Copies of this chain bind each other. A is one copy, B any other.
Amino acid sequence: MTQEISIQLTTEPRTRPDSEKLGFGKYFTDHMFMMDYTLEQGWHNPRIVPYAPLQMDPASMVFHYGQAVFEGLKAYQTSTGELLLFRPDKNMKRLNRSNERLGIPEVSGDFVIEAIRTLINIDRAWVPTAPGTSLYIRPFIIATEACLGVRESHTYQLIVILSPVGAYYSGGLAPVKINVESSYTRAVQGGIGHAKAAGNYAASIKAQSNAKKGGYSQVLWLDALEKKYIEEVGSMNIFFKIGGKVITPAINGSILEGVTRASVLELLGSWNIPVEERKISIEEIFEANAKGELEEVFGTGTAAVISPVGELYWNDRQVLINNGQIGPYSQKLYDTLTGIQTGRLPDPLKWTMPV
């Protein structure tokens, strides 16, 4: 796709929120990117328009059959005022894997990245600059055909919205409490768990809300079949440091292949730290803890980058990890990743892309 992106600028720019009040995904910039898909024209009419409500036929398939996928990535401002994207090509590849699973037509990743860069440059003034803040980028695709038959839609919209987001940890990195979910299931082999599809998150809301009520910040999912093997956290992949080795669940068709996960694996490898991607049971974690070998646990994801886990609850069992303190690997990974993302550290693997 080498189509020209048409641009219509807002005549009513909005007030930008205070840097301290940003939170996550609550404020949106003045413009958005859109393009349409029809069977006849493929993806067409790429355009940047003022952020505004979508006009959606009530019979639009997305409302009824949830045919929708999304991505999430961030732009960071460097100390020299440059803006950097972090591995956007990986998000685009995952978007197309999600599309494939959901029966949504492929998009040109390069073109969408170009659209994102154009959009960010237009809303440049919205990029927050305080430490830890960033611009969250949310591309998503929704089925727009007005028809109640259960099948692939014949029309879609791809939309990109931008949200200035606050520091995930206002007081620096802080360990979280996580509940291991043993009744509800998020995804199963043969399903859509490896896709970033709307329906996966709908399936997770109830367990997440129960966890919150119990004082946990997230849910750790177990496999659907035996409720034995560790999958991932609500919106993070998970890593364990046991007896000097770092272990993370292997990509198995039911967990999301995180961009941060891949980057952590590459960093650990480059530091010559032994890493295993494999099946790991929750029992193994509790046993490692009993033997005094459970050294660190951390989640990885775009929102928090690295999220140290201080406590894990599994039914009536509990482990306190590294005395509830941030472990050295978590800290080093966090510092290195955020260092690369914000241009503080060199980027030997060319993970960042200027906007």
Binding site for B on A (CB under 8 A): 24-26, 28, 32, 51, 53-59, 62-68, 70, 101-103, 136, 138, 140, 142, 146-152, 159, 161, 163, 183-192, 197-206, 208-209, 212, 224-225, 227, 234-235
Shortest CB–CB separation between residue A169 and chain B, in angstroms? 16
Residues of chain B lying within 8 A (CB to CB) of residue A202? 65-68, 102, 192, 197-199
Q: Is the CB of A224 within 8 A of B25?
A: no
Q: Is the CB of A63 within 8 A of B53?
A: no
**B51, B66, B150: which contacts A68 (Cβ < 8 A)?**
B66
Shortest CB–CB separation between residue A258 and chain B, in angstroms? 15
State the CA gap A142–B151 with chains docked (Å): 20
- Residue ID in chain B nearest A72 by CB atoms: B148
Q: Is the CB of A149 within 8 A of B24?
A: yes
Residue of A65, A149, A201 with highest tally of chain B CB at under 10 A: A65
**B26, B53, B66, B191: which contacts A185 (Cβ < 8 A)?**
B191
A-B contact pairs, 16 of them (CB 8 A): A24-B149, A28-B146, A32-B58, A53-B55, A55-B55, A59-B161, A62-B63, A64-B140, A66-B197, A67-B201, A67-B202, A68-B202, A151-B208, A184-B191, A198-B198, A224-B224
